[in-house]
Amino acid sequence: MAKHEFGIFETEPEQDKRYDEYCPEKYGCIAILDDYIEPLLGELSVLETYIHTLFRPGNGLVYYGITLIPPSSLLEFKKIIDLTGRKELQALSKKIEEAMQRHKFMIHYGI
């Protein structure tokens, strides 16, 4: 089954770096099935994010690529996830909460 992975940057993303490599262990990623993320893509499109690099601002999650999610978008991200009430998304809610408490960027690997 297709999955999305979400993790936390330990340090700020580098301004001039493209994040193109798949390194879920580096960011302590958790996997969430696409069945639970795909229906939320419309709602998640309100999030201000970055596409592979801080030089490419975007909105929402990059379905087939890598999304950098800044701390300023995490509260809204968590609200959207929590409003689903799905137990399958509880681990993601906790991961977002951890990033919020630490004021860290998150990384998302699309399917």
Q: What is the pLDDT of residues 44-67, one digit of tens each?
A: 999 999 999 999 999 999 999 999
pLDDT (tens digit per residue) in 27-43: 999 999 999 999 999 99
Q: How far is the CA of 24 from the CAs of 7, 63, 75, 83, 85, in angstroms?
A: 7, 16, 22, 26, 26
Check residue 64 and give its pLDDT: 97
Please report which confidence band the pLDDT of residue 1 belongs to, taking 50, 70 and 90 as the band edges. confident
pLDDT (tens digit per residue) in 73-92: 999 999 999 999 999 999 99
Number of domains present in the structure of the chain = 1
> Quick one: tokens of 59?
């909105």
Domain CATH for 91: 3.40.1760
Q: What are phi and psi of 60, to 5 degrees?
A: 75, -165
Non-local (6+) Cβ contacts of 2 within 8 A are: 33, 34, 111
Q: Which domain holds residue 75?
A: 3-109
Cβ atoms of 32 and 81 closer than 8 Å: no
